[in-house]
Amino acid sequence: MGLMEPGPLQSAIEQAPYILIVCEGPDLRIAALNGTARALFPGRDPVGKPMREAFADLAGQQWIDLYAQVYRTGTAITGQEWRAHIALPDGSTRELYADFSITPWRHPDGGIRGVIGGGTDVTEIVRARLAAERHAEELRQQYRRARDVVDALQQVLLPRGLPVLPGARIAASYLLAAADTSAGGDWFDAVVRPDGSVALVVGDVVGHGVTASGVMGQLRAVLQDRLQGDGDPGAALAAVDRLAGRLTAAHAATVCVALLRPDGTVGYCTAGHPPPLLVPAGGAARFLDVTGGGPLGTGGRFPVREARLAVGDVLLLYTDGIVERPGRTAAEGTGELARVAADAVAGRALRAPDASPAERAATQPVELLVRATGHADDITLLAVQRTAPPAPLDLELGADLSRLAGLRRALAGWLGGFGAAGDDVFLVQHAVGELVTNAIEHSLSDDVVALRGELTGDGEVVVRVADRGTWREPDHVSERGRGLAVTAQLVDALRLDRGSGGTVAEVRHRLTRPASMLSPAAPPPAAVPRPRPPAELSIVDTGKGSVTVAGPVDAATAARMQHELLYRSRGGVLDLTVDLSGVTHLASAGVAALHTVAARHRAQGSAFVLLAPEGSAARHVLSLVALPFG
């Protein structure tokens, strides 16, 4: 074996199934290597040669440097699953993974004689693990794709939003079974009737997958149609029961329907479903009595019982997935739900100062109960709190554009007071801001613009703006004639009543709030205070032809923005990029200013780029007014 004298120990080392390479002296000459090591380097005779010469193909792979470091420092080095590429005589390359230990070889007096390197070939183990990881990643990607399809399917079949009503705050959450990538059969709905009552529905179709989801969609459609008609929960359930009798997959589906009327009375029916939980504003939570109705398609009847909600009380409908959790009996699960829901409504559970009691009741029990036990089935929670109707918003504004910022704050406070979501607040603020701007521009300096906002019983916000100015037809070529066009696209309806004494403009927009589609891997995020948006227009030169605009751009500030942008671009001669991500309000006056600046740049042959990222206030408006943005 190289320079060593043969003997029993040397013979054993020669045949050992691990790699051994021994080097001697500062130039790391190969003193010996065993049979396993020689097999890695066929066609070579490295003994007696410096390591950098014998293994030149390893020079740039740190191996030789490790030997030199051990010789220099006298300190051993170990490593796991290090990769090496070894050149073979036929020009190909062998890839090797090795666990290794490189230690000093000492003289009897302790001085460094050389270096001993030993290692184990773990190439097959590493390759097997890498293949398993690749397969696992493919499975994860398939799971994510399946989840994406499930999410899309659920969002198509479930309500796009929950109504915002003057006498009720409604919230819902939905959590798919953690171990199943198939769409579930749970569903919820909130159906507003013309008389101001709202029907709340939670149902559960047996099974999972496309069939269950398809059946759920059919049952929901029939039930929604009947509830919007006569509003009788018993008759609506009888109709959907007839459908279930014709659909095998709908057999034994369970449903709970509760009709909340404006006076606080509740007519409800539990068709094979767990009864609603009533959480009073002050007092102990209690489950309502079951009504005796059987599951759909089983030939049962659907009697309706009555309950009552006082102002402040919360009613919680749910599916059995929140009760029948692993390791809990039905009695234990219902008891836990009652306690946790009561704590959530009272604000004694997770801190969520901006969430309504209904929102806390619909989300916090899912996080708090599931994290302790997990869950084996889909979970749906639908909560409603009876509230006092909001007072109308009545404002009188002087004919002064500086009042627009205060108007936006007043609108946001009024809308937020009865639970309007951020998107709807944004749309109504913009639409009303355009109408008030028009009214101010058409009024005399001492005129007053009157505004009145109301929330109708069926969840539609109505805002009327009246002035005493004279109506002027918009100029079809003027850049300042965009206000009404933008308004009409932002809200559901716009109506103008023009008379000799002034103009009354009315916008109507139906309000909704999104349900919480929860993930088993991530609980609902904690409320994080958002930085307060700037109250005044801010224009900052960020260098290299870029400008950041933040704050409101309305009729009172648009001229300043136009002047600043043209000043920084030398009248449109220099390229300019404008970041609008911090803009909190972009009125038609601001749009007109941007069009003017863009036209100046086009005339000069220079670039004018607007940046409005996803989710920004400016992006929504720019997409309506033919201004390119990135």
Alpha helix segments (H runs only) across 445-557: 483-490
Dihedral sign, CA of 577, 580, 585, 587?
positive
pLDDT in tens, 448-457: 889 999 999 9
Tell me which long-range contacts 427-431 makes (C-beta under 8 A, separation of at least 24): 427/490, 427/491, 427/509, 428/461, 428/463, 428/491, 428/507, 428/509, 429/585, 430/486, 430/487, 430/490, 430/585, 430/586, 430/587, 430/621, 431/463, 431/486, 431/487, 431/490, 431/491, 431/494, 431/507, 431/509
Residue 494 has pLDDT above 50, yes or no: yes
pLDDT at 482: 61
- The full set of domain ranges for the chain reads 8-121, 158-386, 393-513, 533-622
Q: Nearest Cα to 556, choosing from 587, 533, 510?
A: 587
Res. 458 pLDDT band, cuts 50 70 90 = very high
Residue 616 has pLDDT above 90, yes or no: no
The tokens describing 187, both together, are 């569903």
pLDDT in tens, 361-413: 999 999 899 888 888 788 999 999 999 999 999 999 887 888 888 999 999 99
Residue type, 592: A
pLDDT at 182: 52
The tokens describing 171, both together, are 């919230």
| Contact by Cβ (8 Å): 343, 349 | yes
Q: Give CATH for domain 533-622.
A: 3.30.750.24
Distance CA 347, CA 341 (A): 10
Residue 470 has pLDDT above 80, yes or no: no
Residue 255 has pLDDT above 80, yes or no: yes
Lowest average pLDDT, out of 257-261, 263-267, 530-534, goes to 530-534
pLDDT at 283: 81
Q: How many CB atoms sit inside 10 A of residue 354's CB?
A: 9
The tokens describing 537, both together, are 């227009």
- Which residue spans within 88-149 are E strands per DSSP? 93-106, 112-121
Query: ∠ CA(70), CA(71), CA(73), 5° rounding?
Result: 65
Res. 544 pLDDT band, cuts 50 70 90 = confident
Distance CA 250, CA 298 (A): 10
pLDDT average, residue stretch 63-78: 93
Alpha helix segments (H runs only) across 491-550: none
pLDDT at 151: 58
pLDDT in tens, 572-593: 999 999 999 999 889 888 888 9
Lowest average pLDDT, out of 121-135, 202-216, 514-528, 539-553, goes to 514-528
pLDDT average, residue stretch 121-132: 92
pLDDT in tens, 155-206: 567 787 899 999 999 999 988 775 444 556 788 999 999 899 999 999 998 8
To the nearest 10°, report the CA torsion of 45, 47, 51, 57: 10
Q: How many CB atoms sit inside 10 A of residue 386's CB?
A: 22
360 compared with 178, residue with greater pLDDT? 360
Distance CA 489, CA 387 (A): 31
Lowest average pLDDT, out of 92-96, 167-171, 436-440, 498-502, goes to 498-502
Distance CA 42, CA 49 (A): 16
Q: Give CATH for domain 393-513.
A: 3.30.565.10
Residue 125 has pLDDT above 70, yes or no: yes
Residue type, 602: R
Residue 56 has pLDDT above 50, yes or no: yes
CA distances from 145 to 93, 173, 479 (A): 38, 22, 46
pLDDT average, residue stretch 514-519: 81
| Contact by Cβ (8 Å): 345, 130 | no
Q: What is the pTM of this model?
A: 0.71
Do the domains at 8-121 and 393-513 have one common CATH topology?
no
Query: Who's near 161: CB < 8 A, 6+ residues apart?
Result: 421, 512, 513, 514, 515
Distance CA 381, CA 398 (A): 47
pLDDT at 529: 46
| Contact by Cβ (8 Å): 511, 543 | no
pLDDT in tens, 135-159: 888 877 876 676 666 556 655 677 8
DSSP class of 329: -
Distance CA 261, CA 231 (A): 10
Distance CA 37, CA 33 (A): 6
Quote the percentage of the chain above a pLDDT of 70.
89
Residue 601 has pLDDT above 50, yes or no: yes
pLDDT in tens, 272-327: 999 999 999 988 999 999 999 999 999 889 999 999 999 999 999 999 999 999 99
CA distances from 101 to 29, 52, 420, 546 (A): 18, 19, 66, 56
317: helix, strand or coil? strand
Residue 1 has pLDDT above 60, yes or no: no
Distance CA 465, CA 163 (A): 25
For 184, the enclosing helix (H) or strand (E) is strand 184-192
Q: Nearest Cα to 288, choosing from 354, 224, 338, 363?
A: 338
Res. 480 pLDDT band, cuts 50 70 90 = very low
pLDDT at 150: 56
Distance CA 566, CA 21 (A): 74
Res. 467 pLDDT band, cuts 50 70 90 = confident
The tokens describing 207, both together, are 């099974």
CA distances from 220 to 190, 203, 362 (A): 11, 9, 20
Res. 520 pLDDT band, cuts 50 70 90 = low
pLDDT at 269: 97
The tokens describing 325, both together, are 């959790």
| 506 bridge partner residues | 464, 495
Residue 460 has pLDDT above 90, yes or no: yes
Helical pair 588-604 and 422-442, crossing angle rounded to 10 deg: 80
The tokens describing 178, both together, are 């953690």
Q: How many CB atoms sit inside 10 A of residue 136's CB?
A: 10
According to DSSP, the β-strands at 168-175 and 516-518 are: parallel
| 517 bridge partner residues | 174
Question: What CATH number matches the domain at 8-121, 3.30.450.20, 2.60.40.2550, 3.90.420.10, 1.10.357.10?
Answer: 3.30.450.20
According to DSSP, the β-strands at 546-553 and 576-586 are: parallel
Question: What CATH number matches the domain at 158-386, 3.40.50.300, 1.10.357.10, 3.60.40.10, 3.40.190.10?
Answer: 3.60.40.10
DSSP secondary structure letters along 149-165: HHHHHHHHHS-S-EE-B
Quote the percentage of the chain above a pLDDT of 90.
59
Res. 624 pLDDT band, cuts 50 70 90 = confident
